[in-house]
Amino acid sequence: MRHINFKNIGKHNHSRRLAKTKFVLFLLIFLVLTLTLVVKASFVVSQDRVLEVFPTPKTAQKSSTYAVTVNGKPVFVHKYNSINYVHFAFAGIAELEVSYKDRIKSYTLSPKSINIPSRKNGKIISFSLNVPRKLILHKVNELDEQLYILADPLEDNSPKLSDDNVTNLLKYGVDSTGTNDVTDKIQQAINEVSARKGVLYIPPGVYKTKQLNLKSNMTLYLAEGSVLEATKEINPSYGQGVLQLENVSNVKIMGRGVLKGNGSYWRPRGGWYSLIKMLNTNNVLLQDIIILDSLINNVWIQYSENIIVYNVKILTDPKPTWFNADGFDFWSSRNITVDNVLYKSTDDATSQGGDKKGIIQNNENINVRNSVFYSDSSGSSGFTIGASTNQDFVRNINFENVDLVYTNSIANFWAVTRATYDNIYFKNIRVEDILRQPTSPDDSAALFHFQIKLVSPQWEPTSSPNNLGRITNVYLQNLMVDNKGKKESIFQGYDSQRDISNITFDNFFLQGKLVTTPKDGFFNLMPSYKDSKPYVKLNFTKSNPTTVNITANKMYVSKIGDIGEFLVTRTGDKNKALKINYSIKGTAVSGSDYKKISNSVTIPAGAASTKISIQPIQNHKNKGLKTVFISLDNLPNSTQYMLGPNFHAVVNIGQL
């Protein structure tokens, strides 16, 4: 539009000037109305979209390897040691263009199980998303320069600074530039907010801190663009957590901000602390945040129960490489769900141990699902139990719908100290790559290591002939492994009482071939160290299991009368009806923005699918694009059905 300067219109003809002015105003109003109508009309045709780009912290380092645009808008790519990551939120469709520093000859976009169509053109890789994902772009020209793509949903139910129960940390006069230590002021805020059962809001900025002790009945909210960073001036903690939750209940840690451990700085200097440590806690929610640069364990959970971890992203890339940087450690804890997380580090993604010193002793009812793991060091595993399992049982453990993009092994079970491992499920576990470059011949990768033996005299009496465990009732269903590793898996029992029994591999495919014998699986069933007899019983079966997925069959609805639609599908036996529970999230409100729906759906007998309809409601508050975000729930410790790669989907409600 041509710019009109009203001051230059002649003053000698007032009426003419007024007429022109009115005409120009009319044109402007007409254009605004027309553009508004065009936007509304094009929403249906073009399937509108929302992109949320988060503020970039001043201390962030920019990648020189990758550049990313989403829907044509540049999004900051972070550089941290040897990895790169990009973080944004969206609704509708996100069209990504990833530019690499050189011409692209080859690349891998993981998890492969999602089957995202992509294309390359010169230095650019392009693809689109219509559902939130955690992706890894790697092996670009066969080089180890990973880009982690953290595509979040729009945040729902986030606290607002105007809410009565929300306290802005800046109220306490803290330095938000990362220059000065603000531990005391943050701790004061925590204490006061907890007393009011409120929310402590950490706005964008960098906050340097030592150990913070969270209290009961509070929410710590890290807003997008905020970084809670361990100080380098003095050891932030020792043997505890930067965020310490001890003897507390009803705590939430949420938001799209970052908890940064500065492990790369402190590990060579003798530091030893977790990023988050829970000790004797109950009813804790850890959601959405990025955990960056840990020193040892990222999240340590001890003598605790009723813990939910959702949509957390862990990025640890120690240089030089060190161990102990586990993702989630469960120690004598129970009733835990870890859902939709990304773990990138150099040790076990999940690890379990325990003792009999706390009120809670056994590990029970732990459910890890819908996640992506990448661990690139020898000794790492997706799922480790032992060797420090000094309780009676580790039981009712469920690992489901997990992509091991890169690992040293799938599972290490060391029943060398008392505990019996019982009723453990692996369902829809997919392994893309096994460690290629072990640091020594002994570190060569193997898929499994299930072993019951005496460790060494130094471990007595903890590991002794009368204090060994047992491994029984382990079910591995739909295990897909693309790379078998360089070393045989080891299965070794001790005697008839401390044995490995009832281990069932159902639909186990190794490098595309069905495994029906130990030899097919590259397994070594070792005789006992006690009497040289075998105490291992493995079963190999082939079945037609039920896997459920959800997609948005009609992902946009923009007017009364339109119906959005989810499609829930199943494979396997269809003779019986199948009820599937699901969770409802999103920025749209059930019963207000759309007609209320239940939290379950039933696929009828004889059918392979069913639909969930989303019918919008005319609402004067309907502004912009709102989302209905459904995630399928699993059935832990059951083979009735299992979740597939498409475990969640989104229907978008436009302005009505």
Given a cut of 80, is residue 438 above it in pLDDT?
no
Average pLDDT over residues 382-389: 90
Question: In whole angstroms, what is the distance from residue 535 CA to residue 525 CA?
Answer: 9
Which residue shows structure tokens 């080891």? 490
DSSP 172: G
Answer for the pair 637, 423: CB distance below 8 angstroms, yes or no.
Answer: yes
Question: In whole angstroms, what is the distance from residue 42 CA to residue 48 CA?
Answer: 8
Given a cut of 70, is residue 358 above it in pLDDT?
yes
Given a cut of 90, is residue 539 above it in pLDDT?
yes
What's the pLDDT band for 22 if we cut at 50, 70, 90? very low
CA nearest neighbour of 405 among 434, 437, 370: 434
Average pLDDT over residues 436-461: 75
Single-letter residue type at 242 = V
Which residue shows structure tokens 């004061």? 188
Model pTM above 0.85: yes
Query: Percentage of the chain surpassing pLDDT 90?
Result: 79
DSSP 55: P
Answer for the pair 379, 351: CB distance below 8 angstroms, yes or no.
Answer: no
Q: What is the pLDDT of residues 2-18, one digit of tens each?
A: 332 323 333 334 444 43
To which H or E segment does residue 548 belong?
strand 547-554
Question: In whole angstroms, what is the distance from residue 168 CA to residue 251 CA?
Answer: 18
Answer for the pair 426, 409: CB distance below 8 angstroms, yes or no.
Answer: no
To which H or E segment does residue 457 belong?
none
Given a cut of 60, is residue 340 above it in pLDDT?
yes
Q: What is the pLDDT of residues 302-317, one digit of tens each?
A: 999 999 999 999 999 9
Average pLDDT over residues 443-462: 83
CA nearest neighbour of 292 among 81, 591, 545: 81
Answer for the pair 281, 248: CB distance below 8 angstroms, yes or no.
Answer: yes
Residues 6+ apart with CB under 8 A from 34: none
**Residue 634's pLDDT is what?**
98
Average pLDDT over residues 397-404: 99
First to last CA, the chain: 29
Average pLDDT over residues 611-632: 88
The partner residues of 129 in beta bridges, in order of sequence, read 94
What's the pLDDT band for 620 if we cut at 50, 70, 90? low
CA nearest neighbour of 344 among 172, 193, 134: 134
Answer for the pair 69, 96: CB distance below 8 angstroms, yes or no.
Answer: yes
What's the pLDDT band for 442 if we cut at 50, 70, 90? low
* Encoded tokens for 517: 């014998």
Answer for the pair 57, 208: CB distance below 8 angstroms, yes or no.
Answer: no
Given a cut of 90, is residue 35 above it in pLDDT?
no
Single-letter residue type at 533 = K
Where does residue 579 rank: exposed (0-12), middle (13-18), buried (19+ CB within 10 A)? exposed
Torsion over CA of 222, 223, 225 and 226, rounded to 10 degrees?
-30
Which residue shows structure tokens 């409601």? 617
Higher pLDDT, 345 or 21: 345
**Residue 10's pLDDT is what?**
39
Single-letter residue type at 171 = K
Q: What is the pLDDT of residues 114-157, one digit of tens each?
A: 999 999 999 999 999 999 999 999 999 999 899 999 999 999 98
CA nearest neighbour of 349 among 397, 384, 305: 384
**Residue 656's pLDDT is what?**
64
Average pLDDT, the chain: 90
Strands of 22-117 (E only): list them: 50-53, 66-70, 73-75, 77-80, 83-91, 94-100, 108-110
Looking at the chain, the number of H-run helices and the number of E-run strands are: 3, 52
Strands of 217-289 (E only): list them: 218-222, 226-230, 238-246, 249-254, 258-260, 272-279, 282-287
Sheet holding 523-526, edge to edge: 212-213, 238-246, 272-279, 299-302, 328-331, 350-354, 383-389, 411-414, 448-451, 489-492, 523-526
Task: Give how far the C-alpha of residue 28 lies from the chain's centroid of Cα atoms, to the nearest Å.
Answer: 48
DSSP 155: P
Q: What is the pLDDT of residues 590-605, one digit of tens each?
A: 999 999 999 999 999 9
Given a cut of 50, is residue 45 above it in pLDDT?
no
**Residue 37's pLDDT is what?**
29
Q: List for the chain the helix, strand, coil content (%; round to 5).
A: 10, 45, 45
**Residue 618's pLDDT is what?**
82
Answer for the pair 279, 245: CB distance below 8 angstroms, yes or no.
Answer: yes
Question: In whole angstroms, what is the distance from residue 649 CA to residue 92 CA?
Answer: 11
Strands of 9-76 (E only): list them: 50-53, 66-70, 73-75
Higher pLDDT, 318 or 421: 421
CA nearest neighbour of 284 among 242, 247, 230: 247
Measured at the CA of 226, the angle between CA 197 and CA 583, to 5 degrees, comes to 60
DSSP 487: S
> Does a cis peptide bond (omega within 30 degrees of 0) precede residue 645?
no
Question: In whole angstroms, what is the distance from residue 77 CA to residue 63 CA?
Answer: 6
The partner residues of 364 in beta bridges, in order of sequence, read 334, 395
Question: In whole angstroms, what is the distance from residue 242 CA to residue 291 CA?
Answer: 11
* Encoded tokens for 230: 């361990």
**Residue 27's pLDDT is what?**
38
**Residue 323's pLDDT is what?**
77
Q: With left for phi above 0 and alpha for psi between -120 and 50, is residue 587 left, alpha or beta?
A: alpha
State residue 549 phi and psi, 5-degree precision.
-140, 160
Which residue shows structure tokens 């997008």? 224
* Encoded tokens for 123: 């230095």
DSSP-based three-state secondary structure for 113: helix
DSSP-based three-state secondary structure for 527: coil
- HEC string of 462-483 equals CCCCCCCCEEEEEEEEEEEECC
Q: What is the pLDDT of residues 624-648, one digit of tens each?
A: 899 999 999 999 999 999 999 999 9
Average pLDDT over residues 457-479: 89
**Residue 7's pLDDT is what?**
33
Given a cut of 50, is residue 518 above it in pLDDT?
yes
Q: What is the pLDDT of residues 425-436, one digit of tens each?
A: 999 999 999 876
Query: Percentage of the chain surpassing pLDDT 70?
Result: 91
